[in-house]
Amino acid sequence: MKHKFLSALILAIILPRTLHSGEYIGLGIHAGFHNDVGNMGQQGNSVIYAGQFNGILGVSAKIDRDPLFIRTGADRSMVLMDGEVKDNSSGELKKTRISYTSIPLYAGINFRIRERGKFYMGMGPVYLLGNGSVHTIDEKVQIRDKIYCLGFITGVQLRVDNYIQVYAEWEYISARSAPKINTDPGQTWKDYSIDYSGHRLHLGFSYFIL
């Protein structure tokens, strides 16, 4: 059984190479970043803070049927630099360590750039799973979020050979959680929401299996 599976896998990889790649289905891997995760500046104009900076590792699957495409995948966004409030300008909030996984499903239009590659733009729903922690003066609160939201993507893919292309993408997602912590010591309610909105940049390469 194990051998059959391995044989099928090898055939699946090798067989398409015997045909000319139609650039129909590309599987990609990319790295990127998301600056100012949490958008702490939206807490108020007077908040003095160092924005959180996340690195992104992701995989993508893009199905092209020119001029249309569908792109999905999964991105894991991990903390590289904590978000930090430098004074008491945001109440009890002191530090953020927000991570998340986003699973988008974009549809849009490809624009062929002669024989060198494609420029593409699309939009669609995103399923976002947030985790990590938010720190107040007194406590550390673990985050667990599941959010359906909207995003859009625009990118360029350039041909390296018949099967491999490099791609660069700009993605924007708009998403905000329910309140997670209390930042007002005079109250008992939670009033600080995690804002996952913002820009992401990706750079990677894809392998066209068909």
Partner 1 sequence: MNIQKIIKSAFIVILIAAACPAPIFAFAERSWAFQAGMIPAMGGGMSSYEQSARIGVDNGIYGINRSEKGKSTKNIDQPVGFTGGGEFKLVLFNYYMARVGANYSRSIYGGTGKSLDPAGNIMKVEYSLWYYDIPLMAGISIPFWKDVRITLSGGLAYASGTYSNSFKSDAVNSKAAFSGWALPRVISLSGEYFINYDIAATTAISYYEGSTKVIKNRADYAVLDFTGYRFTFGVSYYMDADKSDRKKQQ
Is residue 52 within 8 A of residue 18, CB to CB? The reply is no
Kindly list the distances between the CA atom of residue 160 and the CA atoms of 32, 39, 77, 149, 182, in Å, as whole numbers in the listed order: 20, 37, 27, 34, 52
Classify burial at 115, counting beta carbons within 10 Å of its beta carbon; exposed 0-12, middle 13-18, buried 19 or more: exposed
CB atoms within 10 A of CB 146: 9
Q: Which of 151, 165, 171, 208 binds partner 1 (CB under 8 A)?
A: 151
Strands 117-136 and 93-113: antiparallel
121 binds partner 1 (CB under 8 A): yes
Q: Which stretch binds partner 1 (CB under 8 A): 30-38, 75-83, 186-194, 201-209?
A: 186-194
Query: C-beta of 197: minimal distance to partner 1 in Å?
Result: 6
150 binds partner 1 (CB under 8 A): yes
Q: Which stretch binds partner 1 (CB under 8 A): 6-14, 29-37, 107-115, 202-210?
A: 107-115
Query: C-beta of 9: minimal distance to partner 1 in Å?
Result: 36
67 binds partner 1 (CB under 8 A): yes
- Between 99 and 197, whose beta carbon lies closer to partner 1? 197
178 binds partner 1 (CB under 8 A): yes
Residues in a beta bridge with 181: 192
Is residue 139 within 8 A of residue 107, CB to CB? The reply is no
- Which structure tokens are listed for 27? 């599987």
Residues in a beta bridge with 203: 31, 168
CA proximity to 145, closest of 199, 193, 97:
193
Q: Which stretch binds partner 1 (CB under 8 A): 23-31, 70-78, 127-135, 184-192?
A: 184-192
- Between 18 and 46, whose beta carbon lies closer to partner 1? 46
111 binds partner 1 (CB under 8 A): yes
Using CA atoms, how far apart are residues 67 and 111, in angstroms rounded to an integer? 7
159 binds partner 1 (CB under 8 A): no
Q: Which stretch binds partner 1 (CB under 8 A): 28-36, 81-89, 93-101, 110-118?
A: 110-118
Q: Which of 12, 113, 137, 160 binds partner 1 (CB under 8 A)?
A: 113
Binding site for partner 1 (CB under 8 A): 42-44, 67, 108-114, 119, 121-123, 149-152, 154, 172-174, 176-179, 188-191, 193, 195, 197
